């Protein structure tokens, strides 16, 4: 984890600063209170589907009874239309169809009647009874059957939208090969202890989070990070439960128990997110709370007023009242939002993006400004050698060898970068002798009996080895926001000393950063700001390099919070991208906080509203795009359902609607909004994900 920096030390590096995350926890406490306020289980928060269990409508008994009801309706209508049976005789077939197709509606209907709060089930039962009273037995049976089918379809859609999370449960093995008493034994994963060694054969799923002790292999991490390209793993690398081992064989030290793995945490978070209500869903719930009783009263008035006040026919107006009750059933309206939200959450989970609830999914869909931390977000978060410039006749390897021999004594990040670079290039070096650190400037040491130095720009002046040519080169490197390590012979015994070369070190920009920023602009983010504790010159250079609109440097954590507040004042919805821990105050202040590279980082997963399991900036644009698409689908579904209700209300009052047409329109609308919402589950061709994750059949 990175620590943003504020004050610049003489060698161009910044000093670490800590940040608390109290503000973020305060934000989440507020969010949880908000959820309780809107979903406390009290009657006034029900939306008309109360007491209805989609698991129940998907049970084998319900499915069989619906099939029987459908057969009886078809037989009864066929006999009636062919005049092979008198309407009075066909009545008993239709009664059987109503009982088979509507028995599971009765408990909810009776409960809502006792509370005097009509729900969808009660409306259908009343409409069926009314149609029977006026001898429309065929229509009454069809109403009950088609409504049962609609409810069954809602349950199916709900289960399909949640299938991605259930599939996650299936991908982790139930047993692991554990090394005990020098033998590998098959043990249930729940019984494997932390620090035990497990063996993972080629082609097997990894059962628990851990660290590779031996072996090398390419591991498919798509179930956790959403990335389709396998990642090479070797000794010391981290692996996650549920990921798939490639051709190699691995021995892994377990680092987390079964209930604490990254996969287990993902499953819990996504399940919790699916239970939370988004703002649009809260709107639908409140709307249905008043809508269903209102239309019941209107239907009663339509039945009573014309016959009593205008001498209308009781049978005609009872029939129209029943039609209105069917039209009033808000099936399509109620199902439109939750299925869309769950489908959107599941689709992002398949792509390695965790969104902690529908509210955050809607927020990311409305995002119009985005702030990004620099270190570890735009850049890779660790200094590395970017270039080696020769000043003397010494070769690049000689320059690197001398610098590494001295820097091997130091724990400074710049020194570590030089040593790592030497090892990567396979440059052999022997540790220097008589090492002396020069605070804030560099170090001196003896290599093969000769005095050498490594240091920053200031140190070259102190040693008197800086020439106009070197000054120009140092200025160019520092102008790019990079740190310099000057390597040379130290002046001694009357010798002037000389510079052998200059090593440029920087926190390299992520390879896809420029493309990702362009994509963010393309999906409609109006303003992108980079916030950094590094100096303003470095921040400006990196911002220009990747196409960011504005850069703010020299920021302490409190300064970042103020920058977010200013963005919030000028933009409706503001996002903040960071590592989920050090940037917690700024992420908490933003409308939505996004953590980068959260896989295996418990704090990052817990802290952010949205967690990107992989260090991939491109995932942010993908998340925004899917959030916007989810919002479009929700708006269309709600608008379509309300428009259809209004249209059929007018047709009913004018006498141009029938029970047949009403129930077909209601069922058709439900099917359309469900199919529209489930489109979110489709994974585009450019984002391949293994079939083991979230496959919905």
Q: What is the mean pLDDT of each run of 10 residues along the chain (697 residues)?
A: 35 36 38 37 36 53 83 81 64 83 78 73 74 74 76 67 57 85 90 93 89 90 64 89 87 90 71 56 62 77 86 83 73 73 81 81 90 84 88 93 94 88 94 89 92 92 90 86 89 86 88 92 94 80 91 81 91 84 75 76 67 84 90 87 80 75 74 82 48 31
pTM: 0.61
- Which DSSP state fits 683? P
The one catalytic residue among 285, 373, 583, 616: 373
CB atoms within 10 A of CB 29: 10
Each domain of the chain, given as residue ranges in start order, spans: 54-162+271-344+630-681, 173-260, 380-509
Annotated catalytic, 554?
no
pLDDT at residue number 227: 56
**Torsion-angle region of 599 (φ positive above 0: left; ψ -120 to 50: alpha; else: beta):** beta
Q: Report the distance separating Cα 280 and Cα 302, nearest Å.
A: 31
Class of domain 173-260: mainly beta
| pLDDT for residue 272 | 64
Q: Which CATH number fits domain 380-509: 3.40.50.1370, 3.40.1110.10, 3.20.20.190, 3.40.50.10860?
A: 3.40.1110.10
Give, for 279, the enclosing helix (H) or strand (E): helix 279-310
Give the integer Cα–Cα distance in Å for 31 and 235. 42
Interatomic CA distance for residues 372 and 513, integer angstroms:
11
Q: What span, in angstroms and rounded, lies between the C-alpha atoms of 433 and 445?
A: 6
How far from chain centre, in Å, is Cα 536? 32
Return the SS3 of 304.
helix
Question: Is-contact 361 627, C-beta < 8 A?
Answer: yes
């Amino acid at each position: 984890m990175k620590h943003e920096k504020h004050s610049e030390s003489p060698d161009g590096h910044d000093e670490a600063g800590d940040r608390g995350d109290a503000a973020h926890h305060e934000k989440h406490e507020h969010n949880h209170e908000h959820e309780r306020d809107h979903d406390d289980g009290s009657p006034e928060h029900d939306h008309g589907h109360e007491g209805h269990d989609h698991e129940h409508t998907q049970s084998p008994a319900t499915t069989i009874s619906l099939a029987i009801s459908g057969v009886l309706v078809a037989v009864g209508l066929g006999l009636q239309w062919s005049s092979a049976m008198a309407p009075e005789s066909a009545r008993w077939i239709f009664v059987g169809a109503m009982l088979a197709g509507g028995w599971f509606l009765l408990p909810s209907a009776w409960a809502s009647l006792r509370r005097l709060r009509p729900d969808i089930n009660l409306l259908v039962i009343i409409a069926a009874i009314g149609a029977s009273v006026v001898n429309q037995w065929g229509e009454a049976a069809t109403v009950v059957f088609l409504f049962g089918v609609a409810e069954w379809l809602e349950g199916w859609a709900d289960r399909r939208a949640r299938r991605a999370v259930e599939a996650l449960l299936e991908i982790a093995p139930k047993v692991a090969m554990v090394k005990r008493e020098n033998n590998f034994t098959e043990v249930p994963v729940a019984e494997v202890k932390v620090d035990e060694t497990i063996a993972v054969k080629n082609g097997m799923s990894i059962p628990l989070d851990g660290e590779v002790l031996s072996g090398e292999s390419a591991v498919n991490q798509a179930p956790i990070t959403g990335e389709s390209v396998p990642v090479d793993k070797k000794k010391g690398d981290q692996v996650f439960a549920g990921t798939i081992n490639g051709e190699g064989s691995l021995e892994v030290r377990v680092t987390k128990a079964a209930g604490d793995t990254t996969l287990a945490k993902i499953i819990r978070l996504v399940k919790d997110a699916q239970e939370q209500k988004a703002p649009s869903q809260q709107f639908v719930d409140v709307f249905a709370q008043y809508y269903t009783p209102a239309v019941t009263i209107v239907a009663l008035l339509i039945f009573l007023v014309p016959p009593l006040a205008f001498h209308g026919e009781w049978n005609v107006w009872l029939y129209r009242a029943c039609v209105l009750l069917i039209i009033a059933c808000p099936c399509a309206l109620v199902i439109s939002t939750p299925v869309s939200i769950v489908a959107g959450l599941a689709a992002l989970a398949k792509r390695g993006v965790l969104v902690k609830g529908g509210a955050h999914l809607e927020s990311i869909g409305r995002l119009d400004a985005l702030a990004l931390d620099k270190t570890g977000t735009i850049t890779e978060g660790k200094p590395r050698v970017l270039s080696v410039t020769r000043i003397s006749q010494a070769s690049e390897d000689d320059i690197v060898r001398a610098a590494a021999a001295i820097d091997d004594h130091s724990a400074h990040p710049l020194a570590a970068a030089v040593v790592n670079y030497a090892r990567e290039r396979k440059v052999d070096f022997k540790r220097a002798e008589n090492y002396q650190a020069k605070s804030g400037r560099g170090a001196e040491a003896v290599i093969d009996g000769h005095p050498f130095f490594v240091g920053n720009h200031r140190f070259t002046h102190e040693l008197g080895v800086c020439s106009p040519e070197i000054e120009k080169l140092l200025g160019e490197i520092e102008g790019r926001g990079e740190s310099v390590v000057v390597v040379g012979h130290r002046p001694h015994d009357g010798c002037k000393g000389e510079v052998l070369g200059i090593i440029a070190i920087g926190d390299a920009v992520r390879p896809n950063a420029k493309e990702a920023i362009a994509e963010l602009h393309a999906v409609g983010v109006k303003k992108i700001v980079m916030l950094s504790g590094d100096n303003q010159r470095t921040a400006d250079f990196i911002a220009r390099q990747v196409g960011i609109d504005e850069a703010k440097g020299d920021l302490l954590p409190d300064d970042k919070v103020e920058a977010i507040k200013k963005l919030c004042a000028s933009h409706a919805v503001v996002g903040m991208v960071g590592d989920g821990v050090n940037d917690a105050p700024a992420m908490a202040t933003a409308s939505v906080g996004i953590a980068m590279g959260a896989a295996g980082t418990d704090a990052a997963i817990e802290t952010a509203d949205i967690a990107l399991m992989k260090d991939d900036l491109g995932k942010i644009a993908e998340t925004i795009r899917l959030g916007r698409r989810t919002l479009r689908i929700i708006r269309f579904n709600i608008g379509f359902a309300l428009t259809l209700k209004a249209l059929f209300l007018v047709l009913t009052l004018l006498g141009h609607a029938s029970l047949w047409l009403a129930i077909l329109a209601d069922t058709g609308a439900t099917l359309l909004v469900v199919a529209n919402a489930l489109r979110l589950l489709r994974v585009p061709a450019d984002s391949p994900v293994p079939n083991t994750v979230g496959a919905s059949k």
